[in-house]
Amino acid sequence: MKKILLVCCFAVLGATSFAQSGPTDAPVSKEEKARQKARQEQDLNDAFKATGLTDSQVSSVREVLETASKASKELKANTALTEDQKVEAKKKISDDKNTRLKEIMGADTYRKWNEVRKEQKARASAE
């Protein structure tokens, strides 16, 4: 009787340990990455049109966004920093980006820009 009970316990433990290791997310294919990149570019262009930015403002905004993106990638790759330091540095990058965007666009246009981008993010997360 004890042996049967012991075998049942091991079977339950074995089953639960295998249940814990679920499938991992499959890597994103090149086609999917290309679709995501095209979607991001389209959303960015739509935001530019919705806010009515001039060509010079658009190029300045693209430059600011590119600079912030590069800084974030470098920060992510930096293994010397702790997670708290990375969070603090990411906040500084974001604050600098937002300040520069506000200078380029003006307060009203920047507010509209944020509204459009939030709508786009909500729509993208719903898909």
pTM: 0.70
- The answer to whether residue 2 sits within a structural domain is no
Q: What is the dihedral of CA 114, 120, 123, 126, to 10 degrees?
A: -80
- The answer to whether residue 19 sits within a structural domain is no
| pLDDT tens by residue, 58-100 | 999 999 999 999 999 999 898 888 899 999 999 999 999 999 9
- The answer to whether residue 119 sits within a structural domain is yes
What is the domain count for the chain? 1
- The answer to whether residue 29 sits within a structural domain is no
| pLDDT tens by residue, 12-62 | 556 566 655 555 667 878 898 889 899 999 999 999 999 999 999 999 999
- Determine the structural domain holding residue 122 and report its residue range: 38-126
- The answer to whether residue 74 sits within a structural domain is yes
- The answer to whether residue 109 sits within a structural domain is yes
**Tokens matching residue 84:** 């708290």
Q: What pLDDT score was predicted for residue 18?
A: 61
- Whether residue 10 is predicted with pLDDT greater than 60 in this model: the reply is no
- The answer to whether residue 3 sits within a structural domain is no
Is pLDDT larger for residue 67 or for residue 6? 67
Specify the amino acid at residue 75.
L
- The answer to whether residue 68 sits within a structural domain is yes
